[in-house]
């Protein structure tokens, strides 16, 4: 255990977050996501839901302030299908950054392709549909 570091952040995940550079992307994926076939760097957190994991990650990882939309969710196939998760992800991002964060909605197969190019995937135990989000790492300013 470490002071002021969320205990769900494993050593492997902390190393990934540290090693990521500005503009690198990280996927927080649900239990249905094909994580093993889409990532060389994978962290599994099967007992946790996606908003909880996103909250822990964003407690350390700044979102990129130099792009219009530093986060992306998977767009629902049917209207309204992702509303619950979209609202939860929006709330977590806004609270972590202390401002309104613009979140992009990406078509399913385009999301998978973007996930393949990401730095790493964190697979959660999230069972609600559309529990997937990609976040783009920003810079850590000297005053932090």
Let me know how many helices (H) and strands (E) the chain has, helices first: 4, 6
Q: Are 14 and 119 in contact (CB under 8 A)?
A: no
Q: Are 124 and 30 in contact (CB under 8 A)?
A: yes
17 closest CA partner among 115, 114, 120, 131: 120
Angle between helices 50-58 and 83-97 (to 10 degrees): 20
Catalogue the active-site residues. 22
């Amino acid at each position: 255990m470490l002071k002021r570091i969320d205990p769900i952040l494993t050593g492997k995940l902390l190393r990934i977050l540290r090693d990521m550079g500005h503009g690198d992307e990280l996927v927080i994926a649900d239990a249905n996501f094909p994580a093993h076939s889409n990532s060389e760097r994978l962290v599994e957190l099967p007992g946790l839901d996606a908003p909880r994991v996103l909250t822990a990650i964003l407690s350390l990882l700044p979102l990129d302030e130099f792009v219009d939309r530093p986060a992306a969710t998977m767009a629902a196939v049917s209207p309204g299908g992702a509303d619950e998760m979209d609202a939860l992800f929006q709330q977590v991002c806004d609270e972590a950054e202390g401002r309104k964060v613009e979140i992009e909605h990406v078509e399913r197969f385009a999301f998978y392709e973007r996930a393949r190019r990401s730095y790493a995937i964190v697979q959660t135990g999230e069972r609600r549909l559309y529990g997937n989000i990609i976040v783009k790492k920003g810079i850590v300013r000297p005053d932090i």
